[in-house]
Chains A and B, each alone.
Chain A
Amino acid sequence: MIVCLAVVGHENNPLYIQSFTESDDALKLHHIVHCSLDVIDERVNNPKKSSPTINEAFLGLLYPTENYKVYGYLTNTKVKFILVTTDLDIRDADVRNVSLLFFRKFHAAYVDAVSNPFHIPGKKITSKTFRERVSSIVKSFGLSSAS
């Protein structure tokens, strides 16, 4: 189940963080997202062994922490998508396919959001439409992974 979604800009500045849990653990999730940047930085700086193909945007599992797993996705413009999930009992290949599908959808939503002429690049995304769209993607992802 998806717990948190974050978009982090190319200067490691948070652009968007949304959590999908009822409990009040925003700070914890912030920390998880923040810490995951370490791993992304490392993979970006040492790309040779972490990503099999150069153009691979999907960074895969960044690190497991407590009961969460963190996945990453890096766009060409060095914008990072970070997905925090609770432990999914799926094999790695399945996770890869499903989460890649999810990140593609999310990427499209993000591109639409920043294509808004009123959006200032580098500023936090405050679009309500984006929020709704992300929520619907997350919901559909939850369903598809469950099925």
Chain B
Amino acid sequence: MASFKKTQIRSLPKIGQKVTADTLYWRKLNFPVTVKEFGPIDYIDVMPIEPYFIAVSSAAKVQIYNPITHQVHRHFTRFKEAAYGASIRSDGKLVVAGCDEGHIKLFDIGSKSLLRIFKGHKGPVHRCKFTADNVHVVSFSDDKSVALWDLPSETEIIKFSEHSDYVRAGCVSSISSDLFLSGSFDHTVKLYDARSPTGSTISVDHGSPVESVLMYPGNSIFVSVGGTELRVWDMLAGGRLLARVSQHHKTITCLHLASDGKRLVTGGLDRHAKIYDVQSYQVVHTLDFPSPVLSLGITPDDFTVVAGMANGLISMQHRQTPAEARALIPKQSLKDQKKSQTTYRFRLNADFRNVNRTFNPATDVEVATKNDNSLVSRYDMFLRKFQYSKALDTVLGKYIRKKKPAITVGVMHELIRRNGLKSALAGRDDSSLSIILTFLARNINDPSHSKIIIQVANTLLDVYENSCLTPQSEKLFLHLQEHVNREVEYMKHLMEIEGMLHILLASTTTQTRRGPVNIGQGPPVKVMLPSAAAAANATMVYNVG
């Protein structure tokens, strides 16, 4: 009638980072190549067309890196003091950079020659950008002003001096040559239209000094960062606040779009870069860096991620190509690969194909997923034939017991159900006994497995109670006992802390509630689990003793 139903492997959802499509995508970045510069990396700009050169401004020079070779392709050193905010034109031919003396310098990448110098700012210029028509430059200066320059005539067209503090952030619209955005340390973000020279069209208050701003390609939304907050504004609604996201715990310094405008990346002084989904502003992945991140650059195809750090390090990470991914798997020769393609059905690996990989944020709830795989695992084959020892041997293989202990525990659970655990454990030689004992000692602390592991350990003690053991096994039994004792100690401590917390909670809730109510307001199932494990552990200690 019914076909054999597979053994259920219960794996509780992992606490911590979830495995999602995004984490898998961003995890594919290779080990970074780092270059050390003399000063902090102020700004990184990526050429929007191939070969995606990267302009890095740090100290008194601007360097253009080749992202493939990681070599300096060009460098511009004609700055007296620090150079800031070098940005490459969309055709990849010109680069513009601001500097400490208040000038804006325009270079030709091909010939390395200085083409124009725009003079007029009284303070250092930290950011400058080409407009969408490629013949104007917008500059953002510490003299609290924003200026629009004409490229051919080298003249200033408009100047807006509306800010009351340094203007350290700015960007231009990608479709309109007249719109640009400035962010200042006076907490405001202003949108200017070159066609209305009277003043800014939108001004919004960010709440803290603005470090970077960004306009979405559609020209309807812009984003500002500063302090620990990311704010999203609706441009069409006149600067309505759409979202406030605070995911960094130190100042956010830079902003970048990635994945074709579907993801937003922020870097901060807390040494992280966070990747957000642009629809929900949820963090989908976090990149870690060794030092505070000041600037970020991502190539349009997401192939290279460049981060500039406060200690002068530039980290360049490439995405793994399929060939590289293959090469990373060691010890698999071409012959092996061929073999694995043809006879994979008979390999033990088949066991892992049906492991659930969906995860749920709630830690005490298991997600139901369908096992469509009709492949029968080896342990199921033995279970079907009532060969319990062999089934247990199968799941005590090195790979399964170390990498997928849930499978081992699942089979042990099934053996308990079938009343076959005793016979599966009995009559083992020294080496297989030591494997079991090591497995038990390793996993007895895991709250999701401990219930079954304790049961197995008790049965094992029953079976080998009166038999003569080798010194090695005896040592392992004592080792297991040590583990249990330690766990019991931990649990005692935890329960003490829990008790303290209960007192605190109770004292805060009694003021609002009358009557003899005793409710743990929130302790869900999970909180209670360790105490049960502890209780069960305690009974086991008796057995050992």
Chain A bound to chain B: no
Name A's B-contacting residues (CB within 8 A). none
Residues of chain B having any CB pair with chain A under 8 Å: none
